[in-house]
A and B are shown apart, each in its own frame.
Chain A
Amino acid sequence: NAGVTQTPKFQVLKTGQSMTLQCAQDMNHNSMYWYRQDPGMGLRLIYYSASEGTTDKGEVPNGYNVSRLNKREFSLRLESAAPSQTSVYFCASNPPRGTGPDTQYFGPGTRLTVL
């Protein structure tokens, strides 16, 4: 099992450019999440998907869109990147309650710089 994978690992964008961050998990988890991590602020939830076909906003959704393509894949799109979106982005998943360890599993992260 690869767990949670993310692509790309690094990305530099210019202000106004768009891009999609990809995330996939092979653990048959229903719930998937996108976080951003900034120095001193911990992990902040951008969007989450409780199951295939559903998505909900988290704490900081402005400037982002998501797609739950299927049970395995959950992508995050920046339509018009801004310098304030410079951050490290983590994807995570967790199993349904009562079916496995009660925790989230994280990907390795995407380091995004917007100039």
Chain B
Amino acid sequence: EDQVTQSPEALRLQEGESSSLNCSYTVSGLRGLFWYRQDPGKGPEFLFTLYSAGEEKEKERLKATLTKKESFLHITAPKPEDSATYLCAVQARYGQNFVFGPGTRLSVLP
């Protein structure tokens, strides 16, 4: 059964304090790993798709990396506007569905 776990459950950072969020997964043949950002009261918003171990993608202060068992979302010098819940999901190579982790709730304090 495909599974996704995320840690920590919640993270509080000071503005400018870099850190990483973890997404661990088990899937029967990975087609893609997805990162989303979700603001309170809104639907998830797409950030990145990673397809193979060793792949990295960047967007502003965010950088996502992928290994065969986990993905990291690195946040460099975060700002208060980066506060949100970050969701990780996987899709199997021969499947239609996406399996989501429970998310990491990030708070960046000014």
Contacts and interface: CB of A to CB of B under 8 A. Distances in A.
Interface residues on A, range: 20 to 34
Given A40-B102, A42-B101, A48 B96 contact: yes
Contacts, number: 51
Given A108-B42, A108-B43, A50 B96 contact: yes
Contacts of A31: 96
B102 A90 contact: no
Interface string B29-66: 00010100000011111100100000000000000000
Interface residues of B, number: 20
Nearest to B51: A102
B45 A43 contact: no
A104 interface: yes
A41 B96 contact: no
B49 A102 contact: yes
A104 B46 contact: yes
28 contacts: A4-B43, A41-B102, A42-B4, A42-B87, A42-B102, A42-B103, A43-B44, A43-B87, A43-B89, A43-B100, A44-B100, A45-B97, A45-B98, A48-B97, A56-B96, A58-B97, A90-B44, A92-B43, A101-B46, A101-B49, A102-B32, A104-B44, A104-B98, A106-B43, A106-B44, A108-B42, A109-B41, A109-B43
